[in-house]
């Protein structure tokens, strides 16, 4: 990322490779469906690591697991660079009344890792602007310890969250 010429070349190659991904994740990385995550503004290291996880079975999703197997290491790097450079847009909350409660919970329990504005850092994903539906799916999955093989710090963190906490956090994060 520090070398301008190499980053630009990776960006251009990534842009070509993402035509197909764009039908779900958006050409600019802002997802087209609420159950699909944004990739825009996500750290390249996080994106790259998720390809590894889909590829080696630590994380499973029918489409993504199959895709991860056909992408070369070069593709994965280029795509990660491309999407990391896109801007994630805030969304309208489906539950605006819950946003303030979610903000307080986020500051208390999540900001230390995900950043004050949920902007993410390295392998701690950006959460700002993610569709509320996706945040809920992701938190429930950690709560249910699925996939259990994943030794994620999120498993312990999601365990005590109630359904109400999850609604509030998701309502808040999508608006950032
Ligand atoms: C048919 C729709 C579809 C297509 C096409 C698709 N994805 Fe996905 N992608 C998903 C869904 C759904 C998830 C969430 C899976 C889950 O819940 O674990 C996902 C998750 C991801 C994640 C993890 C993001 C996160 O926040 O954890 C990355 C990275 C990703 N996709 C990259 C890609 C790339 C790169 C391509 C193109 C090569 C692509 N996807 C094509 C549907 C799609
Ligand atoms: C100790 C650091 C830490 C804390 C505290 C933390 N997280 Fe995470 N979180 C992570 C890491 C690391 C990941 C990446 C997933 C993985 O590696 O398993 C993650 C992933 C996630 C994801 C999935 C994002 C995606 O794109 O798929 C969500 C949603 C999430 N965290 C929400 C939260 C919420 C809400 C809180 C507060 C209740 C929280 N996290 C607190 C470290 C943390």
Average pLDDT over residues 84-111: 97
Q: Is the CB of 169 under 6 A from ligand 2?
A: yes
Mean pLDDT of the chain: 94
Is-contact 163 64, C-beta < 8 A? no
- Give the per-residue pLDDT at 147: 59
CB under 8 Å to 46, separation ≥6 — which residues? 120, 122, 123, 124, 125, 126
CB under 8 Å to 6, separation ≥6 — which residues? none
Q: Is the CB of 124 under 6 A from ligand 2?
A: yes
pLDDT tens-digit readout, 43-75: 999 999 999 999 998 888 999 999 999 999 999
Q: Which ligand is nearest to the CA of 136?
A: 2
Residue 42 clears pLDDT 60, i.e. is over it: yes
pLDDT tens-digit readout, 120-154: 999 999 999 999 999 999 999 999 887 555 678 99
> What's the angle, vertex CA 87, arms to CA 99 and CA 11, rounded to 5?
150
Is-contact 77 9, C-beta < 8 A? no
Specify the residue for token string 């790259």.
Answer: 48
Share of the chain above pLDDT 70, in %: 98
As for ligand 1, residues whose beta carbon falls within 6 Å of it are 18, 20-21, 23-25, 35-37, 39, 47, 50, 59, 61, 63-64, 67, 79, 125, 137
Nearest CA to ligand 2 atom 11: 124
> What's the angle, vertex CA 22, arms to CA 19 and CA 23, rounded to 5?
105
Is-contact 172 103, C-beta < 8 A? yes
Candidates 26, 42, 30, 28; CA nearest to 126 is: 42
Ligand 2 centroid to Cα of residue 138, in Å, is 9
- Give the per-residue pLDDT at 151: 76
- Give the per-residue pLDDT at 176: 97
Q: Is the CB of 138 under 6 A from ligand 2?
A: yes
* Max mean pLDDT range (16-20, 103-107, 146-150): 103-107
Specify the residue for token string 């290291």.
Answer: 45
Is-contact 166 140, C-beta < 8 A? yes
Is-contact 1 7, C-beta < 8 A? yes
């Amino acid at each position: 990322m520090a070398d301008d010429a190499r980053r630009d070349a990776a960006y251009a190659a990534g842009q070509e490779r993402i035509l197909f991904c764009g039908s779900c994740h958006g050409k600019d990385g802002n997802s087209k469906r609420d159950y699909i995550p944004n990739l825009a503004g996500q750290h390249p290291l996080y994106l790259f690591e998720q390809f590894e996880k889909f590829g080696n079975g630590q994380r499973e999703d029918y489409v993504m697991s199959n895709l991860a197997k056909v992408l070369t290491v070069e593709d994965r790097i280029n795509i990660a660079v491309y999407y990391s450079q896109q801007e994630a847009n805030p969304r309208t909350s489906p539950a605006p009344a819950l946003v303030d409660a979610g903000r307080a919970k986020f500051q208390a329990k999540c900001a230390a890792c995900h950043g004050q504005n949920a902007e993410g850092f390295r392998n701690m994903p950006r959460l700002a602007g993610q569709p509320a539906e996706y945040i809920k799916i992701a938190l429930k999955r950690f709560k249910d310890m699925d996939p259990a093989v994943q030794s994620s710090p999120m498993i312990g963190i999601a365990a005590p969250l109630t359904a109400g906490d999850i609604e509030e956090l998701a309502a808040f994060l999508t608006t950032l």
